[in-house]
Amino acid sequence: MSRLPSSLLLLFMISGCAASIPDAALRLPESTLEMRSMQTRTMAAPSEIDILTATIAVLQDMEFNIDRIEKPLGVITASKVSDADSANEKAGLFFLDLLCAMGGGGGCDAMSTAQDDQHITLTMVVRESLSGSGEYTTRVTIQRVIYDKMDRIKVLERVDNPEAYQQIFDNLRKSLFLQVGDK
C-alpha cells in the first residue's frame, strides 16, 4: 500500500515536467536551416573515396593543412593560420598609443589589442546520398578563432559567408571533374 502514494507522486511529477516545456524550445530556428543548406551540397562521383581524395586536393590548394581523415566516417578536418590584422587597425592603434604617450599616460599599449592571427578550422563530412547511388551529400563547416597580439581570443565564430562555402564546392566540383576525367 505504501508504494501506491509514492508511485502517484512520481507520476504527477513526471507529467508536470512534460507540460512545462514550451513547443518552441524543441524547434530549430529558421537560421539553422538556412545555414545547413549553405553548408551542404549533393555531388555525383564514382565513389566516396573519389570525393575524399578531391577534397584533400582542394583543401591543400587552398593552403589548409589536413589534420585528420576518418575514412570510415567520411570526415576530413583541416586547418590553417593566416594573418588577421589590417593596416587600418594597426594605424589607428599606433596613433592611439602615440596620443596616450604624448598625454603622459603610462602603460599605453593599445597595439597589443590588435588582431594578430586567425585560426581557421574546416570540417567536411561526405556520406552516400539517400536519393541514389553515385550521389554523395557533402557538408562543410568552418569556424575561426582570432587572437590578438597577446594571444588572447578576440573573436570565436562560425563562418557564415555563403561565398566561402560556394568557393569550396565550386573547387570541389572542378577537382572531381578533372579526377574522374583522368580515369
Residues 6 or more apart in contact with residue 41 via CB below 8 angstroms: 137, 138, 169
State residue 84's pLDDT score: 67
In a domain, 138, yes or no: yes
CA gap 14, 4 in Å, rounded: 15
DSSP string, 144-162: EEEEETTS-EEEEEE---H
State residue 57's pLDDT score: 92
State residue 110's pLDDT score: 52
State residue 82's pLDDT score: 82
State residue 129's pLDDT score: 87
Q: Can you state the angle between helices 162-181 and 48-61, rounded to 10 degrees?
A: 120
In a domain, 78, yes or no: yes
pLDDT less than 50: residues of the chain? 1, 95-96, 98-99
Q: Domain containing 131: what range?
A: 29-85+115-181
State residue 165's pLDDT score: 93
Total of domains in the chain:
1
In a domain, 97, yes or no: no
In a domain, 66, yes or no: yes
Query: Does pTM surpass 0.75?
Result: no
Can you give the CATH number for the domain in which 176 is found?
3.30.310.80
State residue 32's pLDDT score: 77
CA gap 142, 161 in Å, rounded: 10
